[in-house]
Structure 1
Amino acid sequence: MGAIRRAARRLRRKAEQTPADRDRHVDLLRAVAITVVVTGHWLAVQVTHDGGLHGANVLDIVPWTRPLTWLFQVMPIFFLVGGFANAASLASHRRHSGNAVGWTLRRTDRLVRPTTMLLAVLTTAALAAETAGADPALIGAATWPAGIPLWFLAAYLAVVVLTPPMHALHRRYGLAVPIVLAVLVGAGDMARLTLRIPYASEGNFLFAWLAVHQLGFAWQDGRLPSRRPVALPLALLGLIALVTLTVFGPYPISMVGAARQEIQNTSPPTLALLALATAQTGLALLLHDPANRWLRGIGPWTAVVAVNSVIMTLFLWHMTAAVLGVLALYPTGLLPQPPAGSVSWLLLRLPWLAVLALILGLLVAVFGPVERRTGPRPRPGSGARVLTAVGVTGVLAGLLGIALAGPGHHGPAGLPTAALAAYFAGAALLRFARLRRGGPSGGPADRSAARR
């Protein structure tokens, strides 16, 4: 209890020291988005045990839940606030004569450090289970869902790395950039849906998320102002487009992938997902001023600071918490198994969420310090650009290899061996590039980037 009180006091002091000019609404949106994503993933898990464990997606077996994904699919919000924060930290870094390499090394460190810890733990646990003679199918069944968050991380890391050149495009062309990216998404959709060209829309994995990220740039520099005459029409336009494209158009209602649907709105992202992103952007702008006023209270702001201090840990470990919860509740018979979609099933979602929240809280207590720890400021010397490029390539290749492998046992560690090797090699190169001493990398701007 003493440790908890000390941690609470540290967070309160950190909240009290927040600069007056910080846009607290952005931090609130990030915290809410990650909380909703975690809750949505947990609610989508359906498990049965009949001597063996069997998992399913609730969206596949309870169709009436699919419209609820309009509320739970909030990844666009995360990319929106990511664009805002990345633009702010990059601008600060530039003002202090920092370069793109130093900024990239600093910005990716907060993502790569906790991810490396997750993959190291999963790899070690899987190898230990393999050595102990565990069924490889069971190892694969445990490691694959634990690695689900890496889908998102690969896309977000890519837009972070592309922030310097994309921000330069934004400074020159403004809102024309996300409009062009949205047109590319539409062209990819058209080629896939009407011309039946295989893989024609794979570029949407990048174009769609870049488009939302660019909206964050526009919000940060005022080209997309938080004013009602702008926010309300934007929200309504996005909602009308979403209804038109899904209810009357060719896109499915579900904003999360569901089985037996030819089109998946997230894999790859579609115009329908961009319509949802537009509606969410308008709503975020609309709530900006009242949210900032509310967050002047030390209580709610401290809660937001607490979530943001371990936000990657929460996201990365939440499916591991689900795996541990399944093992604790179902083989032991502690949680009944009523038919999915029934009233009793709905009521049992509450203790299910409570147990998973408790497990995740313990995981965050153990692994959260890895994310909160601030390493030395990067001082990239000669060759840092090449090291950074190769390191980022390795990390992205590893994350994509793990994400694309799908369910199953793919090697001694459960996950694909080559992808794990690429990731760990890339992470090591980025670490080396950060620690290698060279010329100044921006000094105070690095601290500003860390705070953002």
Structure 2
Amino acid sequence: MSWEAEQQPQQAYPQQGYGYGQQPRPQPQPVYGQGQEYGYGYGYGYGYGYGYGAQDQQPYVQPYPQQYAEHGQGQQPAAEATATLPAVEPEPEQGSFAEAEAPVVAEEVPPPPKPAGRDRYFDTLRAVALVRVVTYHTFGWAWAGMVFPSMGIMFGLAGTLMAKSLERPALKVVKSRLRRLLPPFWYWGLFVVLAMLIHDWMPGWQIVYWIVPLGDPPGNTWGIQAWEILWYLRTYLWFVLLSPLMLKVFRLAPVPVLLASLAPIAVFQLVWTPPDGRFGSALWDLATYLFCWILGFAHRDGVLQRLRPAAVVVLSLAAIGFGGWYAFSHQAEFGTYDLDEIPLAQAFWSAGFVALLMYFKARFEVDFAGLARFRRLDRIVTVFNARAVTIYLWHEIALILAVPLIDQFWNVPAFEKWLPLESQWFMFGIGWVLIAAFVLLCGWVEDVAAKKRPRLLP
């Protein structure tokens, strides 16, 4: 899962339509800055479920308004954008021809660009994805992935942020991602591994994957509900390692590469099946979400906004239609129409769904800035984004602990009479209470990983 759970400030744009005098004057030049990004994506449990990507960077000013700002999670102070002052012409000498002929033109200093802020469109998508993951892992609704394919969305966000971060040296970007990703994983894994050891788990050499999850970390059956979600951590890590090369290939032929990124999953499903084991699982997951990751590149590089709306809409709906048809027509083979259990259907459904969301963002410059008017909702979205790694890692444990906790409620006659102890909705509510507790108790690790001062809440 993508762990770049950091807030990324929105880019500011220079004001357009400056007035000019009778004579041309020098144009202000944009001022750029560098920063870090952090992307995340998770998703699994009873099936797949969530992706996460986020990165932290300093704001900068882009020269054209059609390029869009990305953001991640965490918190980064917004830097002030500075407008370049107009050039000052030297004063002509006394009695010179220039003094006699040159008209007096008042220089108009353009107003400074608006300070950078957060792009709440991506923030909101990430928060909704987290809620959908917890909901799916509570109720197990097979249709949840069709309503909101969180995994594909989070891979798309992570790909966008990765493309931005690779404006810096690739090695530095990869090290930054690892630094932000691994400490929360290690902290969470310490409790899970100790619990499995107490419950008779005998690890082998594969325990090294609990240090760097290039393969699926092992575990026993007792703890499977907790550790099975780590498949996305492994997938996200491989995407990060491969992104410098993938981005170079993508920029050679953006649209053909984007369309071709759906070919591997079709080959795996229809022509050649990868082997079982860690290697085969990694290939399946990489192929399933490769399009969404590269779609993030396309959004960051402005490729999407240059495409014709009709082409994007038609192809996206066609991909969604094919994914849905394949899922429903192969229920007998997979035992369900749940996209999380059918890689080919998941790949095409997510591709079409995420393409529409990204194109909507690119075409109409949507940022959900009005969310700030709803302070409580805006605060919730902020916390979800700054603690996305914590929420994802600990949500399954919260749901596990909710069951014995509710069992104790039956021993209280008033609770037994007045509370809906048998309802899954009640367990859903108790799960969120426990998730909130884990955010307070364990969320500070994300601050430490980001080299920030630890806080209970961002």
Q: Give the TM-score of the pair, scaled to structure 2.
A: 0.59
Q: CA deviation at 1:318?
A: 0.5
- Equivalent residue of 1:147, what SS? helix
1:233 CA displacement: 3.1
State the SS of the aligned residue for 1:317.
helix
Residue 219 (structure 1) aligns with: 299
Report the CA distance shift for 1:347/1:285 in structure 2 as closer, same or farther (over 3 A): farther
Q: Equivalents in 2 of 1:182, 1:111: separation in Å?
A: 27
**What is the match of residue 361 of structure 1?**
436
Pairs within 5 Å for 1:210-249:
210-225=290-305, 229=310, 232-247=313-328, 249=329
Q: Secondary structure at the match of 1:66?
A: coil
Q: Which residue of 2 aligns with 1:104?
A: 174
* One of 335, 338, 350 as aligned partner of 1:261: 335
**1:357 maps to amino acid:** W
Match of 1:179 among 252, 259, 266: 259
Question: Which residue in 1 is equivalent to 2:231?
Answer: 151
Show CA shifts across 1:22-74 (max 9, x none): 54322222222122112211222xxxxxxxxxxxxxxxxxxxx4334312542
**Partners of 1:25 and 1:295 within 8 A in 2:** no
| Aligned with residue 352 of structure 1, among 427, 435, 447 | 427
SS in 2 for 1:166: helix
| Alignment partner, residue 190 of structure 2 | 120
Structure 2 runs not aligned, ≥5 long: 1-73, 80-114, 202-218, 413-418, 453-458
Larger-Rg structure: 2
- Correspondences of 1:47-446 after superposition (within 5 Å): 65-71=141-147, 73-91=149-167, 93=168, 99-127=169-197, 140=220, 142-191=222-271, 203-225=283-305, 229=310, 232-247=313-328, 249=329, 251-252=330-331, 261=335, 265-266=339-340, 270-285=343-358, 287-288=360-361, 289-295=365-371, 297=373, 299=375, 300-330=377-407, 333=410, 348-375=423-450
- Gap change, CA 1:88 and 1:252, over 3 Å in 2: farther
AA aligned to 2:350 is A
**Judging changes above 3 Å, is the alpha-carbon distance between structure 1 residues 163 and 329 closer, same or farther for their aligned structure 2 residues?**
same
Match of 1:417 in 2: none
Give the SS at the match of 1:20: coil
2:126 aligns with: 30
Q: Given the superposition, is the C-alpha separation of residues 246 and 160 from structure 1 closer, same or farther in structure 2, using an over 3 Å criterion?
A: same
- Greater relative CO (CA pairs within 8 A, separation 6+): 1
Instruction: Note the C-alpha offset of 1:293.
Output: 4.1
Aligned residues: 314
Contact 2:261 2:291 (C-alpha < 8 Å) held by counterparts: yes
**What amino acid is aligned across from residue 353 of structure 2 in structure 1?**
Q
- 1:71 partner amino acid: V
Let me know the Cα RMSD of the aligned residues: 3.8
TM-score relative to the length of structure 1? 0.60
Q: CA distance change for structure 1 residues 273 and 230 in 2, over 3 Å: closer, same or farther?
A: same
Equivalent residue letter for 2:183: R
Does the 8 A contact of 1:155 with 1:205 survive in 2? yes
Once the two structures are superposed, residues 239-291 of structure 1 have per-residue CA deviations (whole angstroms, 9 ceiling, x without a partner) of: 222233233x4x339xxxxx963998546x63211221123213413653455
State the distance in 2 between where 1:346 and 1:236 align.
42
Do the aligned partners of 2:142 and 2:338 also contact (CA within 8 Å) in 1? no
User: Structure 1 residues 146, 187: CA separation in 2 closer, same or farther (over 3 Å shift)?
Assistant: same
Decide whether the 8 Å contact of 2:235 with 2:285 is kept in 1: yes
1:151–1:345 Cα change, 3 Å: farther
Is the 8 Å Cα contact of residues 178 and 210 (structure 1) preserved in structure 2? no
Q: Distance in 2 between matches of 1:79 and 1:197?
A: 22
Write the distance in 1 (CA, Å) between the matches of 2:381 and 2:142: 29
- Matching residue's letter, 1:180: A
User: Kindly tell me: are residues 75 and 117 of structure 1, through their superposed partners in 2, closer, same or farther at Cα, counting changes over 3 Å?
Assistant: same
1:40 matches 2:136 = yes
Change (3 A) 1:35 1:262: closer
1:89 CA drift (Å): 1.8
Cα distance between partner residues in 2 of 1:101 and 1:16: 25
Higher share in helix: 1
Q: Structure 1: 5+ residue runs without aligned partners?
A: 1-12, 45-64, 94-98, 132-138, 254-258, 336-343, 378-452
